[in-house]
Amino acid sequence: MPIVVNLDVMMAKRKMSLNELSEKVDLTLSNLSILKTGKAKAIRFSTLEAICIVLDCQPGDILEFKDEDIVSK
């Protein structure tokens, strides 16, 4: 999948555990874990906003587009 989730990187930079983030953004551990491991198929903007507020970051710090098959013109 060309969308890479760097949630674990931002959590490490902020020295925040999955449990702490889960409590602060009001998400279950299992849903947050699914997102963190890149297994999620979608994310609500409200969830992304809450994560960005808590981690003091931008959506681009968490989500990254990587596709080696795309050739630049």
pLDDT digits (tens, 9 = 90+) for 2-56: 899 999 999 999 999 999 999 999 999 999 999 999 999 999 999 999 999 999 9
Q: What is the end-to-end Cα distance of the chain in Å, rounded?
A: 22
**Does 73 fall in a domain?**
no
- State residue 72's pLDDT score: 56
Report the distance separating Cα 21 and Cα 35, nearest Å. 12
Altogether, the residues listed in the chain come to a count of 73
- State residue 70's pLDDT score: 61
Number of domains in the chain: 1
Residue 7's domain comprises: 3-65
Rounded mean pLDDT, 52-69 = 92
- State residue 67's pLDDT score: 78
Virtual CA dihedral for 35, 62, 51, 36, nearest 10 degrees?
20
H or E element, residue 68: none
- The token pair that represents 33 in the structure block: 């874990």
The domain spanning residue 54 has which CATH number? 1.10.260.40
- State residue 71's pLDDT score: 53
Q: Read off the pTM.
A: 0.87
